[in-house]
Amino acid sequence: MIIGIHLYNDFKSLKLFFGTILIILFFPFDSASQNSPEHNAVLSVERIWDRATHNAFTSLIEFNGKMYCTFRESNGHVSDINGSIRVIASDDSQNWYSVALISELGVDLRDPELSVTPDNRIMLNIAGSIYSEGKLKAMNPKISFSDTHGKNFSKPQNIILDPKIKTGMDWLWRATWHKGKAYGAVYQPSKEKSVQLVISDDGINYKFVTTFDVIGGNETTLRFNSKNEMIAVVRRDKDKNG
């Protein structure tokens, strides 16, 4: 199942655990009461989706007063069987309905990540993996956009990466919008220092900025603080040193 954490301060996220989509609602949290048991108690656990054999890799945002959740539907974690991307929405965080099911013949769509564009559309980053006889042969980052109502999503198209860094095994895991620009970190498993910082005006065409000085990095989330400083949270392969 997939566990969702919903705090009253509007922080929302989802985690992976077994094949059902759940949301857990917590009491409000603040630093003054962090040691108080009643401010760390679970209020409720709600199942919001379990229709596929394997439901995983979620993203959750608020858009136009609604909650949107996206995730991959498939038969398992990794295989050459196509994975599809489901998008669901809720007006009250209790009752959920399907908005879109995105698939592409011959491509395993994975790890969808949601963000909101400056012109008020949902942007959906997707990884597209191509397998042959069970072996991964290519990875292409893809993009899909909703309309301004969050109802209709475009057919996924390949992101256009700067030729300076494109390898054919590229994964732009998540994009973050800041001051009208989309920033992302492209994971390239063929390189030792494998995380490339890129920037885009439209979420489709990305220019190379720099390579992170991290060995064995992959999935990366970028955020900006109040000083406009970028913070990167980078996952690393467990067998890498340095």
> Tens digits of per-residue pLDDT, 185-206?
999 998 988 999 999 999 999 9
Residue 35: per-residue pLDDT: 57
Residue 70: per-residue pLDDT: 97
Confidence class for position 20, pLDDT limits 50, 70, 90: low
Across 205-209, average pLDDT = 98
Across 227-235, average pLDDT = 95
Across 176-183, average pLDDT = 98
Confidence class for position 8, pLDDT limits 50, 70, 90: very low
**pLDDT beyond 90 at 182:** yes
Residue 29: per-residue pLDDT: 45
Across 223-236, average pLDDT = 95
**pLDDT beyond 80 at 36:** no
Confidence class for position 32, pLDDT limits 50, 70, 90: low
pLDDT in tens, 73-125: 998 887 656 799 999 999 998 899 999 999 999 999 999 999 999 999 999 99
Strands lying side by side in the sheet with 135-145 = 108-116, 122-132, 135-145, 157-158
**pLDDT beyond 70 at 30:** no
**Rounded to an integer, what distance in angstroms lies between the CA atom of residue 99 and that of residue 86?**
8
**DSSP per residue, 27-96:** ----GGGTT-GGGG-EEEEEEEE--SSEEEEEEEEEETTEEEEEEEEESSSS-SSPPEEEEEEESSSSSE
